A and B are shown apart, each in its own frame.
Chain A
Amino acid sequence: MIKFKAVSFAYQQNSAVIIRDFNAELKPGEFNLVVGKTGSGKSTLLNLINGSAPHLTGGLLAGDIEVFGFNTMSYKPRDLAETVGVVGQKPRDGFVTSTVKEELAYSLECQGVDIRVMQQRIDETSELVGLKDSLAKPLEILSAGMQQRVAIASVLVNRPKVLVLDEPTSALDPPAAEEVLGILQRLTYELGISIVVAEHRLERILQFADRLIYVPGEGSRILVGDVKSIIPNVDLAPPIVQLAKQLNWQPTPLNVRAAKKFTAPLLQSLTPIIKPSSEHAEVLSTLSNVTVRFANVQALNGISFSIQFGETLAVLGKNGAGKSTLLATLAGLIKPDYGDVNLLNLDPAKLSGKEFLKYIGFVPQEPADLLLQTTIDEECALTDQISGLPDGTTKNHVKKFLPEISFTQHPLDLSEGQQLLLTLSIVLVNSPKLILLDEPTRGLDYFAKNQLINHLKKLKTSGISVVVATHDVELVAELEARVVLLADGGIIANGPAREVLLESIDYTPQITRAFAPLNLLTIQEAVDAIQLAG
């Protein structure tokens, strides 16, 4: 039982109150889902549960938090290790040792658990999360999904009563995310562990939740209750819930199965969408038979395809399938071992400095890496200077993307979504022909994601080609992109999203699943189709 009694929290004496007068009781064995915008205080709320806030983060706490009888004010996080297990946002950064087994032993060793008990706990836990065969493996060679499992197992060995996770699936490809969520569900059902998890992408996780904790941000009142009663008040919702709201489906379906009850009677009357195959535009860039090797790994294996002017292309595939390498090769940042990269009859690897900007705009996985100045104003001035543009050009351009920000603040103080839009607008100043984005929606809430989608759609109409490497099928659906699906460095599917996503099992948008076998991709398409049928 976790009890919040009149809890308020602020990081500094005079700074904004993050959480105001929060009262709640979370029952044992429940799956609690925390939702809210970026920067609303979700992570702070999670940190309060094991006392990381304020013991480690600093800050001022009013009220009482009691976790299975322990008051977090009088116990440090280390004293609660056997009660609350915490899995952070980036599991890799939290690893202390070098192999799976040592990592699982670490927490037990710290607490002086007897060797025999330790061995047994490690055995059982590794069985539970599917790490039995990986115990001897080094942590650094594991895939992101396996690393997430290790992070979960490394706190489960303590037999905690509560498990707290911050965005456990945001960096994972859909199959890996599915597996991790399956593990979490088993923990609540079979071991009765309470789970508190914060997530941005709700389409997969919402169906597992017993209880929703909605953090609206800016110190507004936090809503707690069962999912069905809270979800109508939440403006962040997965596609099916948004559709249900628009069509007034009651009770709100939370998963595809529940949505099928509403869609089944409709399917007969709905007509599939037939889009004319896109007219053949001019080709912007071509990869022919491209192979890239790193040391002894084949990253790309004989890849050939071309990108047309104004086309949006989505590169999908598991972690490590070669998506980022493909993007870097398209931009000429990696030179292929075999094969050719052609961009308007040029080799992008030979473009330098200013020339590069005129052809290619690249937004890397960490957009903040491009931001090196101390204020956004300086950032804009630098761009003007590099590109030889009149003073203020970039600033005006950035204002179109981010009308609300102050230009005197430090770029790293912006939210992740804002940093992304800032870098995107900066690279767009030179009106490049090709925009490349690597995992742009990671860590973005639905608002920020929608903003990004709108901007990318505008690019499409103005004839700029966009290539996105992503795990986010909803993004691909909204963009109506052509999909290149990678596996082990080779292309296994290449075609319009409507065809590729419909045939795939792992990479299917929620709406498509709900309306299968119909070929609808987005909320708007579903609403239109239903209205058309009357």
Chain B
Amino acid sequence: MTAQLTSFATKNKTERWLHPLAWWVWGLAAATLAIAAENWFIHVSICAAIISVVYLKRPNASWGNSISILFRIALFVIFFRLMIEVIFGVHFGGPVLLALPEIQLPRWLGGIKLGGILGATGALAALVHGFKLATVIVAASAPATLVPPNLLLKSLPNAIYEAGLVTVIAVGFLPTLSADARRIKKSAALRGKPVVGLRQNIKLMMPLIDSSLNRAVTLSNAMESRGFGKTRLNVVNANLIGLSLIGGLFLLMISIYQVLRNPLNVIGLSLLILSISSITLSIVLSGKFRLRTRLEKLEFRSPEVWIIASSAIGVWLGLAQALPLLALIPALFICFFTPIWLSPQIPKGFQR
């Protein structure tokens, strides 16, 4: 099977990005399974597959390197979960690992017990649970390190393009922001006083905010002067559409409340229908009046289909538990490892 898959991948020689949708389905499927699964062998298998794919397929770009941040967050989650066990945990048994002094909070504070004995059973359960959370986080954010953020933007419908753009730009700023912070911290040390303590660090924010605000202004000016936001609409129509969108959202809020209070409330139901159609209409209209065209359409070809299919099989295998554990674990690994064989070569400039 491996040989077949490899030959399939080489046939597909053109360098291109895998459709972001396929990456997100892959990542979110793995995350979903991680949430649903109880057996920690399953988590290990998913986590191993995801990490190997990210490591072998990550592009050479600043956002491609954010995987290390991801790992740090994952480790922190595991540590944090363990700490919660140490502080709030109840002794379930097993050998005693740690005996802390116990503090019994008064009843009006909930009567919680702090500290006390940390048993092996509790600690192990905490570790397993922490690892589960970490797997979910790694799987759900892995796609972000595999495709350029603006590619995702391209696959969004025209109408919510602006909202998407804002998000993408905000995400894109994070690496530059952290680079700025490092630069400023280094420079500040040149004054002969290493930056320690909260107050000093807050002072560092000043040049940081200054430079990131300047950058944001530069970017928005550059976008505006290159025609961003140009529409076929006149001002009156644009305002009308905006008004109908906001009105629709407001109505939606009221009608949901009405319907939840009494599902058979006729006024509530009709308001709900009205609001949803008003929102849909304004989104469709604003998409229609948008001038935007796209140079390169994202392709959705067989590799995308296969990757999505194999992710779906993985989720089904994990949930149905149709296989014995010994067969399930390698099967899951393979299901989520398929992008290694299936995903096309990424464009040259981004290859490592």
User: Could you list which residues of chain A lie within 8 angstroms of chain B, going by C-beta atoms?
Assistant: 50, 52, 56, 76-82, 84-86, 88-90, 93-99, 101-102, 105-115, 118-119, 122, 136-138, 140-141, 154-155, 158, 333, 352-354, 356-357, 362, 364, 366, 368-374, 382-383, 386-387, 412, 426-427, 430
Measured as residues with beta carbon below 8 angstroms from the partner, the interface class of chain B is: 35 or more
Which of the residues B61, B206, B224 comes within 8 Å of A76, measured between beta carbons? B224
**A369-B207, A370-B191 are contacts. A111–B291 as well, Cβ < 8 Å?**
yes
Does A353 contact B230, Cβ atoms closer than 8 Å? no
Jot down 16 A-B pairs with beta carbons below 8 A, ordered by A.
Answer: A76-B224, A77-B221, A77-B225, A86-B225, A90-B215, A96-B219, A96-B226, A99-B347, A102-B295, A110-B229, A112-B290, A114-B293, A357-B191, A366-B207, A369-B187, A383-B191
Which residue on A lies nearest to B229, using beta carbons? A78
Does A140 contact B348, Cβ atoms closer than 8 Å? no
Does B187 contact A79, Cβ atoms closer than 8 Å? no
Which B residues lie within 8 Å of A371 (CB)? 207
Does B190 contact A56, Cβ atoms closer than 8 Å? no
CB distance from A166 to the nearest CB of B (A): 10
Docked Cα-Cα span, A113 to B293, in Å, equals 6
**A99-B349, A105-B295, A369-B184 are contacts. A93–B215 as well, Cβ < 8 Å?**
yes
CB distance from A476 to the nearest CB of B (A): 24
Does B61 contact A94, Cβ atoms closer than 8 Å? no
CB distance from B192 to the nearest CB of A (A): 4
**A76-B224, A102-B150, A364-B187 are contacts. A112–B350 as well, Cβ < 8 Å?**
no
Does B226 contact A412, Cβ atoms closer than 8 Å? no
Does A110 contact B292, Cβ atoms closer than 8 Å? yes
Given contacts A77-B221, A118-B293, 18 further A-B contacts (CB under 8 A): A50-B225, A77-B224, A85-B225, A89-B218, A90-B215, A94-B221, A94-B222, A96-B219, A97-B150, A98-B150, A105-B296, A109-B293, A112-B291, A136-B347, A154-B226, A368-B210, A383-B191, A427-B190
CB distance from B165 to the nearest CB of A (A): 8
Task: Provide the B162-194 mask, 1 if CB < 8 A to any CB of A, else 0.
Answer: 000000010000000000000110111011111
B294 at the interface (CB under 8 A from A): yes
CB distance from B197 to the nearest CB of A (A): 13
CB distance from A433 to the nearest CB of B (A): 15
Which of the residues A52, A99, A372 comes within 8 Å of B188, measured between beta carbons? A372
Docked Cα-Cα span, A113 to B292, in Å, equals 8
B75 at the interface (CB under 8 A from A): no
Most B-side CB within 10 Å, residue of A79, A96, A426: A96
**A110-B292, A112-B293 are contacts. A81–B227 as well, Cβ < 8 Å?**
yes
**A97-B150, A102-B150, A357-B192 are contacts. A138–B61 as well, Cβ < 8 Å?**
yes
Docked Cα-Cα span, A368 to B206, in Å, equals 10
Does A155 contact B226, Cβ atoms closer than 8 Å? yes
B203 at the interface (CB under 8 A from A): yes
Which of the residues A93, A101, A368, A372 comes within 8 Å of B204, measured between beta carbons? A372
Docked Cα-Cα span, A52 to B223, in Å, equals 11
B40 at the interface (CB under 8 A from A): no
Does B193 contact A115, Cβ atoms closer than 8 Å? no
Docked Cα-Cα span, A158 to B296, in Å, equals 18
Does B222 contact A353, Cβ atoms closer than 8 Å? no
Which residue on A lies nearest to B194, using beta carbons? A353
Most A-side CB within 10 Å, residue of B149, B183, B293: B293
Does B295 contact A118, Cβ atoms closer than 8 Å? yes
B148 at the interface (CB under 8 A from A): yes
Does B187 contact A370, Cβ atoms closer than 8 Å? yes
Which of the residues A112, A155, A352, A354 comes within 8 Å of B292, measured between beta carbons? A112
Does A78 contact B292, Cβ atoms closer than 8 Å? no
Does A368 contact B150, Cβ atoms closer than 8 Å? no
Which A residues lie within 8 Å of B60 (CB)? 138
Does A93 contact B218, Cβ atoms closer than 8 Å? yes
Does A96 contact B223, Cβ atoms closer than 8 Å? yes
B8 at the interface (CB under 8 A from A): no
Docked Cα-Cα span, A115 to B297, in Å, equals 10
CB distance from B234 to the nearest CB of A (A): 12
**A99-B349, A333-B186, A362-B190 are contacts. A110–B295 as well, Cβ < 8 Å?**
no
Within 235-293 of B, Cβ neighbours of A (below 8 Å) are at 290-293
Which of the residues A81, A90, A112 comes within 8 Å of B218, measured between beta carbons? A90
Docked Cα-Cα span, A282 to B290, in Å, equals 71
Docked Cα-Cα span, A364 to B194, in Å, equals 16
Docked Cα-Cα span, A119 to B193, in Å, equals 55
